[in-house]
Amino acid sequence: MSDAATSLTPRTSLISRVVMVLAAAFMLVALVSPQAEAAKQKRVVAISPFAAAAMVKIGVKPIAIGQTIGGERRKPAALRGVPVLKLSHPNGPNLEVMAKLRPDVVFSSSRWARGSQAMRRLGITVVNTDPLNINQVYAGVKKVARFIGKGRRAARVNNSIRNRIRIATRNITKRPRVLVVLGIGNTAMAFLGNSWGGELVTKAGGNLVTGGASNTGGFARLSDEVVVAENPDVIVAVPHGNADDLSEVAEYIMNNEAWQTTNAVKNGKVFVSTDNELLQAGTDVGQIIGKIRSDWLKNW
Amino acid sequence: MLVALVAAICASLAFGAVEIPLSDVFGTFFGDSVPETSKQIIEVLRLPRTVEAIVVGAALGVAGACLQGALNNPLASPDVIGVTGGAGFGAMLIIILNPASVALLPISALAFGLIAAGMVFLIGFTGRGGGNITRVILAGIAIAALFSAATAGLMSAYPDRVPNAVFFLVGGLTSTGWENMETIWPYFAVGFVLAAFMIRPLDKLMLGDDVAASLGSRPRLIRLVAALAAAILASAAAAIAGLLAFLGLVIPHLVRLLGGTKSHVFVMPVSALAGAALLTAGDTLARTIAAPQELPVGPFLVLLGVPLFLWLLRKAV
């Protein structure tokens, strides 16, 4: 009996080992196969352009993205072909379309708050990720990475952003006075230091013309008297996404009677932002700062 | 009222976002040597803006007096004949659909203000029973609603461009030099002249249509011309300062309550002075109280005008 028992033990052990090895191999194959990757990967809709860009940097493609307001040039190549959702104020994407897409996570923005509430009622997890300053970019990347289950990749992406900013802000010797105005209206809606565009221009070496105005929204309707008194060397106009009207916007500012004596107008240093780089946060902070320096501030 | 206007003009020229010594303000006008920046701020920014405030305020005061007299209705204001709705739509067309052509904003606001008023007059003054006050007012309400709906449609279609439109909708003067005035002044001139000619006829109309007719007047024509003068003045005012219809409604009442008379010989010119004084003072406040930021003048007019109006109303009743 004991012989039989002892003779059976090695065979049982061998079988169980073979089974275990096979199971491990199967699991390994299953884990690395793309189908399993897709099955495991969350279905993510990135309404916020920042979140879409962050996802691409992390190495994950969203199943749909929100339409971009004010230019497509910053859209990462990897997002070409990804379905684009139309957005409307204040609801954001069409809720029936969202219900059909069945996303696990939607990266949205506070500007679509009403739509976010409705999406939550549909059982969709909605996360707001739309940074308003550079520090929030790093936090935003971490948040996106965490919600798509790629938390470890956030540090790599953030280091890359940090390095690009470091390179773009090196050797600033010239600090011109810069007025950045939003849209064109009867009076100048100026970018303040706490706006996305204002912070980038400051990082690029510009001294923002604000007359000391402060506003939690980041913009202020600035008196023309302040513009004349502070005499900007450079004026940058940010239109409301009307790419066709860019030359007319510059012409309008050049002809604005109130600003005729500013250095910017006298020296022809009036520029028009051709994309949404000063309005919409992204992961391309360093590149934008570089562009501001080389194209507008001429200090690089 | 003249003293109040002179005080408001002085304040408007002396105060702004940039502090300029009074000696420089006087120096600019008397040809003394003053720093170039100060001179430019006063000549190019403050002076045209003060003149605009005077003219627009006076125009709205007179427009209100004309309309309230013509329609024999104390609630009449440029809103009632569709001017506000039309001018608002005209401005939105430029600000929202074609912001690069913002220089055309005053023209568009003026044109659509006049188009709206024209539609109201066409419906209200023609055909059988034309000139009936109720018909004119109801036509005005309908046309105003039509243009307001079109404006709301534009704003909801382009929500990202709405912030630039807000300043116009709540009413506010700007520092764009003489450019606007150079284009719009003929309309103000025509409106003021027409209104001046309507002073005596409107007084006759106050006696009732039958009595006015027996005195040789033509009530329907008086109404039409007075309303036309109001429409031109209110459209021109909207072209420069956005939608400030509140002034047109309240100023003539203030003047009647202060003066104790309803005669247009008194109400019309004093409404002009009061409107000019209130708008000039309100604009000075709006551009200095949160300097260097500029606030729209509309809410300040309400803050200045309503307490005074309510106090007078209570005293009179």
- Is A141 a domain residue? yes
Domain identity same for A142 and A234: no
- Is A22 a domain residue? no
Model pLDDT, residue A259: 84
B94, pLDDT greater than 60: yes
A257, pLDDT greater than 60: yes
What mean pLDDT comes out for the span B201-210?
A: 89
Domain identity same for A183 and A260: yes
Number of domains in chain A: 2
Residues of B in contact with A70 (CB under 8 A): 160
Domain identity same for A86 and A160: yes
What mean pLDDT comes out for the span A145-162?
A: 93
CB contact under 8 A, B174 and A220: no
Domain identity same for A43 and A162: yes
Domain identity same for A182 and A159: no
Best of B44, B92, B175 to substitute, by most chain A Cβ atoms within 10 angstroms, is B175
Domain identity same for A146 and A197: no
* Residue at which a domain ends, from A168, A187, A216: A168
Q: Which domain holds residue A133?
A: 39-168
A30, pLDDT greater than 70: no
- Restricting to A residues 243-272, those with a Cβ less than 8 Å away from any Cβ of B are 245, 248-249, 252, 255-258, 260-261
Domain identity same for A116 and A157: yes
Which member of A213, A229, A255 has the closest CB to residue B293? Answer: A213
Distance in angstroms between the alpha carbons of the first and the last residue of chain A: 89
Residue of A35 and B276 predicted with greater confidence: B276
CB contact under 8 A, A257 and B161: no
- Is A7 a domain residue? no
Model pLDDT, residue A185: 62
Best of B12, B13, B15, B18 to substitute, by most chain A Cβ atoms within 10 angstroms, is B18
Best of A221, A222, A246, A251 to substitute, by most chain B Cβ atoms within 10 angstroms, is A221
CB contact under 8 A, B177 and A222: no
Note whether A113 contacts B: Cβ–Cβ < 8 A: no
Among chain A residues, CA nearest to B42: A225
Note whether A229 contacts B: Cβ–Cβ < 8 A: yes
CB contact under 8 A, A225 and B161: no
What mean pLDDT comes out for the span B201-224?
A: 88
Which member of A224, A240, A245 has the closest CB to residue B175? Answer: A224
Chain B: give the shortest CA distance to residue A263, in Å: 13
- Is A113 a domain residue? yes
Residues of A in contact with B295 (CB under 8 A): 221
Residue of A143 and A7 predicted with greater confidence: A143
Q: Which of the residue ranges A22-26, A129-133, A157-161, B180-184 has the most confident prediction, judged by mean pLDDT? A: A157-161
B305, pLDDT greater than 70: yes
B245, pLDDT greater than 80: no
CB contact under 8 A, B294 and A257: no
Gap between the Cα atoms of B26 and A69, Å rounded: 49
Query: Predicted confidence band at A4 (pLDDT cuts at 50, 70, 90)?
Result: very low
- Look at residue B226 and give its three-state secondary structure: helix
Among chain A residues, CA nearest to B241: A186
Question: Per the structure block, which two tokens stand in for B224?
Answer: 């039409």
Domain identity same for A47 and A133: yes
Model pLDDT, residue A216: 82
SS (H, E, C) chain A: CHHHHHHHHHHHHHHHHHHHHHHHHHHHHHHHCHHHHHHHCCCEEECCHHHHHHHHHHCCCCCEEECCCCCCCCCCHHHCCCCEECCECCCECCHHHHHHHCCCEEEECHHHHHHHHHHHHCCCEEEECCCCCHHHHHHHHHHHHHHCCCCCHHHHHHHHHHHHHHHHCCCCCCCCEEEEEECCCCCEEEECCCCHHHHHHHHCCCEECCCCCCCCCCEEEECHHHHHHHCCCEEEEECCCCHHHHHHHHHHHHHCHHHCCCHHHHCCCEEECCCCCCCCCCCCHHHHHHHHHHHHHCCC
Domain identity same for A87 and A160: yes
CB contact under 8 A, B100 and A252: yes
Model pLDDT, residue A21: 72
Among chain A residues, CA nearest to B289: A223
Chain A: give the shortest CA distance to residue B312, in Å: 35
Which member of B101, B167, B292 has the closest CB to residue A226? Answer: B292
CATH number, domain with residue A290: 3.40.50.1980
* Residue at which a domain ends, from A168, A193, A227: A168
- Is A21 a domain residue? no
Model pLDDT, residue A187: 64
A50, pLDDT greater than 50: yes
Model pLDDT, residue B212: 84
Query: Predicted confidence band at A202 (pLDDT cuts at 50, 70, 90)?
Result: very high
Domain identity same for A181 and A233: yes
Model pLDDT, residue A1: 39
* Residue at which a domain ends, from A133, A168, A203: A168
Mean pLDDT rounded to a whole number for chain A: 83
- Is A32 a domain residue? no
A28, pLDDT greater than 60: no
Residues of A in contact with B176 (CB under 8 A): 186, 256-258
Query: Predicted confidence band at A114 (pLDDT cuts at 50, 70, 90)?
Result: confident
- Is A53 a domain residue? yes
A288, pLDDT greater than 50: yes
pLDDT in tens, B2-57: 999 999 999 999 998 888 998 999 998 888 888 888 888 898 889 999 999 999 99
Which amino acid, A5? A
What mean pLDDT comes out for the span B86-97?
A: 88
CB contact under 8 A, A186 and B287: no
Domains of chain B in sequence order? 2-316 (1.10.3470.10)
| B41 closest CA partner among A264, A207, A259, A181 | A259
What mean pLDDT comes out for the span B172-193?
A: 88
Q: In this predicted structure, which of A141-150, A288-297, B122-131, B185-194 has the lowest mean pLDDT?
A: B122-131
Domain identity same for A87 and A186: no
Domain identity same for A157 and A186: no
Chain B: give the shortest CA distance to residue A211, in Å: 6
Model pLDDT, residue A287: 95
